[in-house]
């Protein structure tokens, strides 16, 4: 088990036992893509792929960070929270920096080892899991008394300020508020949520990883956000009460189509339609209407491909080959885009054969097999009970 590997690595590296072990899950998102930073709704869930942290306090001011999966190490003093040339370390230092700027007292140094099985750059929010888990760990180690929402905001700001991605709050929120077998219907403006049951009996959630690593920081994600803001600015000059694309109707967008560029129009059209899809999909979920839900997932993919333009040929291929597969009700690319995974709703009895046929088709087209993961919906960040020593 991965968490045991991290604990063992911690012991080897620091020659002591951890006093705190934290699990921070990655996430899936059923529907509602690129709507979080437009203050809309999303439907994510935490899953059974996670980043694990083991920590112990030190009596001095030294912070020692050990990235087990990379076998890399970084140290500094608690009063010098500076960006590192190691990008993985910046996710952790960024969280400490946000906490300290918010008034938290990091009173002494610590040793930390971390690693996990959330695939990197796969749209499952490995970086948000690292940031959320780090915030959760600091909260425990230094008795900061921050609630989960405050930790989600800290993690989001770390991503903005230290990783340079102006992400929404969905990923961190899901990692922190996840609940076993529940989807999180999150209102990204109110920052409140309702838990929905995954009503589709006999359906497995399966991800196919294209193996194409996205790099959201690579400007495209931030560019999409700016394009949405450009659309909002034009509409604000005509209507009062518009704060974000959530407040804009398709009719308003059409009326002012000629005042915005074709690109900005497409981006805004996608986001406004996606908010509508999100609501239709949650109704379909509540009614256990799998066919309707799946259809909406395909609509979302088409919008991400053609209007938001964040898909890639590998993702499109993986979605397209499911369209004729009777065992698959819905499929779409998931997360920020430009690579990563598709999310698929597959009849449980047909999971093995669907994985086999899709993998073979992908191999024939691209010369490599996609990874696939059947995921379970789990609780969010938590402290793990210290495992009995004799089991380690």
Question: By the criterion CB under 6 A, which residues form the site for ligand GLA?
Answer: 33-34, 36-37, 125, 167-168, 170-171, 335-336
Closest approach of ligand GLA to the CB of residue 125, in Å: 6
171 is catalytic: yes
3-state secondary structure the chain: CHHHHHHHHHHHHHCCCCCEEEEEEEEEECCCCCCHHHCCEECEEEEEEEEEEEEEECCCCEEEEEECCCCEEEEEECCCCCCCCCHHHHHHHHHHHHHHHCCCCCCCCEEEEEEECCCCCCCCCHHHHHHHHHHHHHHHHCCCCCCHHHHHHHHHHHHHHHHCCCCCCHHHHHHHHCECCEEEEEECCCCEEEEEECCCCCEEEEEEECCCCCCCCCCHHHHHHHHHHHHHHHHHCCCCCCCCHHHCCHHHHHHCHHHCCHHHHHHHHHHHHHHHHHHHHHHHHHCCCHHHHHHHHHHHHHHHHHCCCCCCHHHHHHHHCCCCCCCEEEEEECCCCCCCEEEEEEEHHHHHHHHHHHHHHHHHHHCCCCEEEEECECCCCEECCCCCHHHC
Closest approach of ligand GLA to the CB of residue 36, in Å: 5
Which member of 171, 218, 247, 316 is catalytic?
Answer: 171
Q: Is 3 or 131 the residue whose CB approaches ligand GLA more closely?
A: 131
Q: Is 231 or 335 the residue whose CB approaches ligand GLA more closely?
A: 335
Closest approach of ligand GLA to the CB of residue 134, in Å: 16
Q: Is 35 or 372 the residue whose CB approaches ligand GLA more closely?
A: 35
Closest approach of ligand GLA to the CB of residue 168, in Å: 3
Closest approach of ligand GLA to the CB of residue 353, in Å: 30
Q: Is 5 or 220 the residue whose CB approaches ligand GLA more closely?
A: 220
Just list the catalytic residues: 171
């Amino acid at each position: 088990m991965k968490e045991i590997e991290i604990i063992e690595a911690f012991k080897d590296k620091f020659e002591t036992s951890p006093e705190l072990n934290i699990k921070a899950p990655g996430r899936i998102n059923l529907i509602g893509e690129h709507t979080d930073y437009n203050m809309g709704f999303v439907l994510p869930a935490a899953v059974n792929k996670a980043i694990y942290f083991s920590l112990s306090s030190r009596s001095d001011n030294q912070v020692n960070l050990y990235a087990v999966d990379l076998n890399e190490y970084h140290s500094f003093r608690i009063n010098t929270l500076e960006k590192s040339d190691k990008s993985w370390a910046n996710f952790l230092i960024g969280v400490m920096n946000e906490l300290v700027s918010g008034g938290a007292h990091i009173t002494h140094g610590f040793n930390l080892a971390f690693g996990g099985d959330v695939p990197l750059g796969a749209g499952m929010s490995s970086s948000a899991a690292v940031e959320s888990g780090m915030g959760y760990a600091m909260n425990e180690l230094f008795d900061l008394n921050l609630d989960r929402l405050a930790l989600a905001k800290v993690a989001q700001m770390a991503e903005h300020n230290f990783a340079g991605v102006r992400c929404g709050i969905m990923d961190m929120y899901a990692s922190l508020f996840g609940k076993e077998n529940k989807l999180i219907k999150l209102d990204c403006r109110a920052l409140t949520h309702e838990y929905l049951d995954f009503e589709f009996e006999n359906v497995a959630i399966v991800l196919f990883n294209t193996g194409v690593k996205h790099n959201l920081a690579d400007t495209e994600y931030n560019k999409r956000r700016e394009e949405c803001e450009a659309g909002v600015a034009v509409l604000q000059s005509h209507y009062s009460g518009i704060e974000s694309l959530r407040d804009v109707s398709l009719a308003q967008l059409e009326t002012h189509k000629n005042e915005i560029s074709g690109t900005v129009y497409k981006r805004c059209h996608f986001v406004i339609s996606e908010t509508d899809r999100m609501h239709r999909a949650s109704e379909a979920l509540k009614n256990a209407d799998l066919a309707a839900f799946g259809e909406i997932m395909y609509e979302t993919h088409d919008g991400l491909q053609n209007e938001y333009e964040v898909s890639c040929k590998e993702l499109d291929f993986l979605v397209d080959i499911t369209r004729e597969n009777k065992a698959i009700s819905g499929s779409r690319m998931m997360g920020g885009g430009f690579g990563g995974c598709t999310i698929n709703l597959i009849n449980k009895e047909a999971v093995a054969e669907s994985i086999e046929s899709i993998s073979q088709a992908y191999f024939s087209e691209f010369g490599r097999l996609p990874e696939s993961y059947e995921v379970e919906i789990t609780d969010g960040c938590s402290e793990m009970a210290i495992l009995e020593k004799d089991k380690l």
